[in-house]
């Protein structure tokens, strides 16, 4: 059985952050770090090949971001 002081400790703690709150903090941090978010529409054949390439990836979003960054850098000669 919990003691009264244990219950006070639980009641004094702030509620856990929601997933939406954590995502907003992450987006705000990325913006503060100078990153920009761009929505792109891929051609169907490109999307199909990209999805096949990413299939089974442990971190498909990170891998997708890496691929896009590399492709843009290569196009710009950077």
Any idea where the domains of the chain sit in the sequence? Answer: 4-76
**Residue position matching structure tokens 């850098």:** 73
Check the CA dihedral 36-45-59-21 and report its sign.
positive
- pLDDT (tens digit per residue) in 23-76: 999 999 999 999 999 999 999 999 999 999 999 999 999 999 999 999 999 999
Q: Could you tell me which residue, 13 or 1, shows the higher pLDDT?
A: 13
Q: Say whether pTM exceeds 0.85.
A: no
pLDDT of residue 6: 72
Please tell me the predicted confidence (pLDDT) of residue 50: 95
Give CA angle at 28 (16, 37), nearest 5°: 125
Whether 34 and 20 have beta carbons less than 8 Å apart is answered as no
């Amino acid at each position: 059985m919990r003691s009264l002081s244990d219950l006070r400790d639980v009641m004094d703690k702030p509620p856990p952050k929601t997933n939406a709150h954590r995502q907003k903090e992450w987006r705000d941090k990325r913006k503060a770090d100078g990153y920009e978010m761009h929505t792109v529409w891929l051609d169907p054949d490109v999307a199909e090949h990209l999805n096949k390439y990413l299939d089974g990836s442990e971190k498909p979003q990170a891998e997708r971001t890496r691929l896009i960054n590399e492709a843009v850098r290569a196009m710009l000669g950077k």
